[in-house]
A and B are shown apart, each in its own frame.
Chain A
Amino acid sequence: AQSVTQPDIHITVSEGASLELRCNYSYGATPYLFWYVQSPGQGLQLLLKYFSGDTLVQGIKGFEAEFKRSQSSFNLRKPSVHWSDAAEYFCAVGIRGSYIPTFGRGTSLIVHP
């Protein structure tokens, strides 16, 4: 079965600084990969997804993620963080032929002014 690891429970950055949230997955073939964000009181919102093709994918709110097969990673990046980016970020992996994505435990992003 596939699994997802988000090694950082909390990340603190200053507003304007760059951000990288880590995600590693375990699966024998190429998975589908997702990043979701949950702001307080909101549902999980899809930021971006990777299915195939270009390994660098662009998402909403200025986020991007890069699929690295050799490292089994799908790290989320943003060059300059805004205070409104403070939220919980979830990485998820889906396998071809299954309807059920598997989620990581989430990384809580704290943004200092």
Chain B
Amino acid sequence: EPEVTQTPSHQVTQMGQEVILRCVPISNHLYFYWYRQILGQKVEFLVSFYNNEISEKSEIFDDQFSVERPDGSNFTLKIRSTKLEDSAMYFCASSRGQGRDGANVLTFGAGSRLTVL
């Protein structure tokens, strides 16, 4: 069964360093997402990406964050200068978009755990 793959599974970084989290979405999916979960808290939406541009983003997704799809297969999340509060599990997801019934079903990766020291 097709799956979304994420790398690295765990990254430890120093505060202020740049981090890039990578995702390979399912090949025939058109929409791509990043969510995060700070330990013990909700899974929060960060950003969605469609047709090579950001389609929606949350308040969390500030200027420190960026996304791109550099080569048509990878979908990356970059954090320019990490802060302690960026420590979280970051989930990538992809979807085909709304089906005939209007619903959008996301397929998620296993997540990348980011620890900022």
Query: Which residues of A line the B interface, CB within 8 A?
Result: 4, 9, 32, 34, 36, 41-46, 49, 51-52, 90, 92, 94, 96-106
User: Which one of B4, B40, B50, B108 contacts A36 once the chains associate, using CB atoms below 8 Å?
Assistant: B108
Query: Which residues of B line the A interface, CB within 8 A?
Result: 3-4, 6, 9, 31, 33, 35, 37, 40-45, 48, 50, 55-56, 91, 93, 95, 97-98, 101-111
A105 with B42: in contact, given A51-B101, A99-B95 (CB under 8 Å)?
yes
In the complex the two chains form, is A43's CB within 8 Å of B108's CB?
yes
Give every chain A residue within 8 A of B98 (Cβ-Cβ). Answer: 99
In the complex the two chains form, is A94's CB within 8 Å of B108's CB?
no
Q: Could you tell me the distance between the alpha carbons of A4 and B31 in the complex, rounded to whole angstroms?
A: 23
User: Which one of A43, A49, A103 contacts B109 once the chains associate, using CB atoms below 8 Å?
Assistant: A43
In the complex the two chains form, is A100's CB within 8 Å of B103's CB?
no
Which residue of chain B has the shortest Cβ distance to A99 in the bound complex? B104
In the complex the two chains form, is A105's CB within 8 Å of B40's CB?
yes
Jot down 12 A-B pairs with beta carbons below 8 A, ordered by A: A32-B102, A41-B9, A43-B6, A44-B93, A44-B108, A97-B102, A99-B56, A100-B48, A102-B45, A103-B35, A104-B43, A105-B42
Which residue of chain B has the shortest Cβ distance to A50 in the bound complex? B103
Shortest Cβ distance from residue B95 to the other chain A in the assembled complex, whole angstroms: 7
Inter-chain pairs besides A44-B93, A92-B43, A106-B37, 14 sampled, C-beta below 8 Å:
A32-B102, A34-B105, A43-B4, A43-B6, A43-B107, A46-B106, A52-B101, A99-B50, A99-B55, A100-B33, A100-B56, A104-B43, A105-B41, A106-B43
